[in-house]
Amino acid sequence: MLHLLRAAALALLAACLAPVAAAQAAYPQKRVTLVTHSSPGGGSDVFVRELARHLGPVLGVNFAVENVTGGSGAKAMAMVARGKPDGSVFYVTTPTYIQTTLLSKPDVGYTALEPVAIVFEDPEVVFTRAQAPFQSLAEVIEHARRNPGKARWGAANPTSLERIALERMARKMNVKVPVVPHEGGGDLMINVLNGTLDIGVGEVEELKGQLQAGKLRILGVLSDKRMPLLPQVPTAREQGVDVVVRKFRGLAAPKGVAPQAVQALEAGLRKVLATPDYRKSYTESNLVPLLLGHEEALRFTNEAAAEIGQTFRELGITK
């Protein structure tokens, strides 16, 4: 019993001191570059610009977002890996940077970076243009089955989690459909809107403008449960398609990143996630807070890499 009381007392003391420590931890840089592989308007681009808008005043930092497209994230990873580990540059992480490494084996992969935080889980949805004849995933699959060679599905880039999800969906439903890759979610959405593609996979945040304008329709959610803000949209599983995707959004730094920067960043993220304005913003974007600090982020990333590697082997993509 004594050790339980001592543990409780220490926990209470830590909770009382945490706000003071966070307040004293000044961020070591005044200007920070956030590098994303996403094209402007893509999911990662939208996420990081909104995060920077709210996090900047909390940390007293001027954030600059830089879009480094090409190589499915390889160019962006290489740029950040060459940066100074002083907290002045971060890479905006998604499962894509793991997939690019496992598939393309670039000179600089995800292991050359140091995960410092996982901020959100970002549910993926399957969408089509509003004028399309499809009202469900079953109708999309039936169209592909009855029209071999004519159906076209789209994903953000060649090694993206979205593309793998569509490849899995095609395999599970026993249909042959080309999955067309793009450099980012913005390019993908254009090709769904103009009818070049039957469906695409993306996040609600990057689709929000076109959804509000009535130009896109969401057909299914690739999560294990429905989204709170879209309770009328069934999951893929509910529609007989056993595909679940877990997409995360976080930050990684050059190896050996300064502990002061890591600690101050984590404190700032915890604070900004609790602010009413940012909570309203990410809730409306259907982002699910999943704040993991430095050590947890590293462990999470390694587990995600093992899971993605297993999926690739099951699909016959890698040996």
Q: Report pLDDT for 204.
A: 85
* Residue finishing a domain among 198, 216, 239: 239
pLDDT by position in tens, the chain (length 319) = 333 333 433 444 444 444 444 444 699 999 999 999 998 988 899 999 999 999 999 999 999 999 999 888 999 999 999 999 999 999 999 998 998 999 889 999 999 999 999 999 888 999 999 999 999 999 999 999 999 889 999 997 776 788 889 999 999 999 999 999 887 788 899 999 999 999 999 888 788 899 999 999 999 999 888 988 889 999 999 999 999 888 899 999 999 999 999 999 999 999 999 999 999 999 988 888 999 999 999 999 999 999 889 888 877 888 7
Q: Are residues 230 and 168 in the same domain?
A: yes
The verdict on residue 20 lying in a domain is no
CA pair distance 230, 232, nearest whole angstrom: 5
Q: Are the C-beta atoms of 137 and 198 separated by less than 8 Å?
A: no
Structure token pair of residue 191: 């090709």
Q: Report pLDDT for 203.
A: 84
The verdict on residue 18 lying in a domain is no
Q: Are residues 310 and 218 in the same domain?
A: no
Q: Are the C-beta atoms of 66 and 35 separated by less than 8 Å?
A: yes
Q: Are residues 227 and 129 in the same domain?
A: yes
Cα 294–Cα 266–Cα 206 angle in degrees, nearest 5: 95
| Strand partners for 31 | 62
Q: How many domains, the chain?
A: 2
CA pair distance 295, 19, nearest whole angstrom: 20
CA pair distance 191, 318, nearest whole angstrom: 29
Q: Are residues 49 and 67 in the same domain?
A: yes
Range of the domain at 106: 26-121+247-315
The verdict on residue 4 lying in a domain is no
Q: Are the C-beta atoms of 62 and 32 separated by less than 8 Å?
A: yes
Q: Report pLDDT for 14.
A: 47
* Residue finishing a domain among 223, 239, 255: 239
Check which CATH number belongs to the domain holding 267 and give it: 3.40.190.150
Name the CA radius of gyration of the chain, rounded. 21
Helices (H) and strands (E) in the chain, counts: 11, 11
